[in-house]
Amino acid sequence: QVQLVESGGGLVKPGGSLRLSCAASGFTFSDYYMSWIRQAPGKGLEWVSYISSSSSYTNYADSVKGRFTISRDNAKNSLYLQMNSLRAEDTAVYYCARGYYGDYVNYFDYWGQGTLVTVSS
Amino acid sequence: DIQMTQSPSSLSASVGDRVTITCRASQSISSYLNWYQQKPGKAPKLLIYAASSLQSGVPSRFSGSGSGTDFTLTISSLQPEDFATYYCQQSYSTLGYTFGQGTKLEIK
């Protein structure tokens, strides 16, 4: 069965860095786009970034552009999010999600359990 | 960016009720609209994709409709396990996917 397991969250000071990982299993990882989506405490969902199956395409929300970098290692079935220059407003649970892209359809069909990032002094 | 607006933001209903949640896009998104359910402390779960297609394993009491800018999620007969927060999400613009602000469905 499809599994996505995030790790790497924790407490970091403003201006600091953190690298999140997402280990995928149960499907052919290299066939799928992947995304990071976050949720601040008590708030709604915010898409953060996506990466294409071969890493050819990436895109970012304006709120993280220039500070976050998404990457993947298809040989290790792993997705990453390098987060630099962290701000208090980046505090959130970060989910990795698999993106399904078909004819006229595009959605997140599997999600990990999330990892909490807290930015505070 | 495409803005997604859900209404209502919260809703109280009883088991057995028929419930409808609305989602409006700031521009036409064709049928690139998905619905997710999230329970406290859990990851979101895909319910409906492409506006009206039911994800495998999701009960048939859930249905979606709409195209262009206006969409609805309907639960035909509320069950106790349906009390959760529901989000719409547009996947039309690959420049940035956006979610609605959520609709919290509570027990009356």
- Comparing CA positions, the residue from B97, B37, B84 lying closest to residue A37 is B97
How does pLDDT run across A6-52, given as a tens digit for each residue? 999 999 999 999 999 999 999 999 999 999 999 999 999 999 999 99
The predicted structure's pLDDT at residue B54: 98
Please report which confidence band the pLDDT of residue B39 belongs to, taking 50, 70 and 90 as the band edges.
very high
pLDDT at B95 over 90: no
Give the whole-angstrom CA distance, residue B5 versus residue B70.
Answer: 10
How many other CB atoms sit within 10 Å of the CB of residue B22?
Answer: 16
Residues of B in Cβ contact (< 8 Å) with A114 = 43
Do β-strands B10-13 and B103-107 pair in parallel, antiparallel, or remain unpaired? parallel
Give the whole-angstrom CA distance, residue A19 versus residue A34.
Answer: 16
**3-state DSSP assignment of residue A47:** strand
On average, the pLDDT of chain B sits at 96
Interfacial B residues in 56-85 facing A (CB < 8 Å): none
Give the whole-angstrom CA distance, residue B25 versus residue B33.
Answer: 9
**3-state DSSP assignment of residue A42:** coil
Please report which confidence band the pLDDT of residue A105 belongs to, taking 50, 70 and 90 as the band edges.
confident
| pLDDT above 70: percentage of residues in chain A | 100
How does pLDDT run across B77-89, given as a tens digit for each residue? 999 999 999 999 9
| pLDDT above 70: percentage of residues in chain B | 100
pLDDT at B91 over 90: yes
Residues of A in Cβ contact (< 8 Å) with B1 = 62
Q: Are B97 and B32 in contact (CB under 8 A)?
A: no
